[in-house]
Amino acid sequence: MSIAFPETISNDTEVDYQCVNINAKLPNQKRVSHPFEVDLESIKDAVRTILQAVGEDPDRDGLLDTPRRVAKMYAEMFGGLHLDPGRHLDVTFEENYDEIVLVRDIEFTSMCEHHLLPFRGVAHVAYIPNGRVTGLSKLARVVEEVSRRPQVQERMTQTVADLIEERLGSSAVGVIVKAEHSCMSIRGIRKPGSMTVTSSMRGSFRKDPASRAELMSLINQ
Ligand SMILES: [Zn+2]
């Protein structure tokens, strides 16, 4: 077994926001870089409109710079939208290791696409290598980048599992995401502290109860 905690595997977890065209299919998995410019001016106009719509004065002192700040915040929160998070898994190493590799407690913040409010929590990412392993911090980078999109937690969980399955050719992938949703804690039903857990199990983690039980015991250690 191999368990890693993100804080111990890499301290260079800043995200590289180089934009790539995720649809480009080129040899050697190289992808065309094309910068995507977030339309900050449109966001600023929209934020002004919202402030006016709720009866605020967007021209009062405290709010003057708010549209610009919010525009920059959205550009950051959605900065993964035009990136290919799978590129972090392009470099692999031959390794004769066929047991569970688990990186657990990868913290993330994403945005619920229904309310544009954050959901925050941790992801546990596991796979059983198929002759090749990836750098442990790369799994954390994939989670970080996938989280930078408007989405629902269910799809985020599946997206991470899909990327690991496809890019590492792994026979077993397990992704478990546990998060608190602001749209449930600060509005609507107002239940702070309630956690939503989603999982995506592939290969032996799905088919073999013993393999899944081993994974769960490592996560809960
Ligand atoms: Zn929501």
CATH at 112: 3.30.1130.10
Ligand 1 centroid–CA 189 distance in Å is 11
Task: Report how many domains make up the chain.
Answer: 2
Residue 7 designated active-site: no
Select from 50, 77, 104 the last residue of a domain.
77
Give yes or no: residues 93 and 152 share one domain: yes
For ligand 1, the distance from its centroid to the CA atom of residue 154, given in whole angstroms, is: 12
Q: Which of 99, 113, 154, 166 is catalytic?
A: 113
Domain of 55? Answer: 40-77
114 catalytic, yes or no? yes
Domain endpoint, select from 19, 54, 77: 77
Q: Which two tokens stand for residue 53?
A: 């719509």
Do residues 202 and 159 both lie within one domain? yes
Token pair of 138 as six digits: 């790369």
Output the CA 192–ligand 1 centroid distance in Å. Answer: 13
Q: Are residues 44 and 134 in the same domain?
A: no
Under DSSP, the state recorded for 42 is H
The set of residues, in sequence order, having a beta carbon less than 8 Å from that of 174 and lying 6+ positions away, is 124, 125, 126, 127, 161, 199, 200, 201, 202, 205, 212, 215
Catalytic residue among 56, 107, 115, 180: 115
Question: CA-to-CA distance for 109 and 143, rounded, in angstroms?
Answer: 10
Q: Is 113 one of the catalytic residues?
A: yes
Question: Under a CB-based contact definition with an 8 Å cutoff, are residues 160 and 176 in contact?
Answer: no
Q: pLDDT of the chain along its 221 residues, tens only?
A: 556 554 434 434 344 444 444 444 444 444 445 578 899 999 999 999 999 999 999 999 999 999 999 999 999 999 999 999 999 999 999 999 999 999 999 999 999 999 999 999 999 999 999 999 999 999 999 999 999 999 999 999 999 999 999 999 998 999 999 999 999 999 999 999 999 999 999 999 999 999 999 999 999 98
pTM for this model (two decimals): 0.84
Catalytic status, residue 124? no
Q: Give me ligand 1 centre to Cα 26, in Å.
A: 37
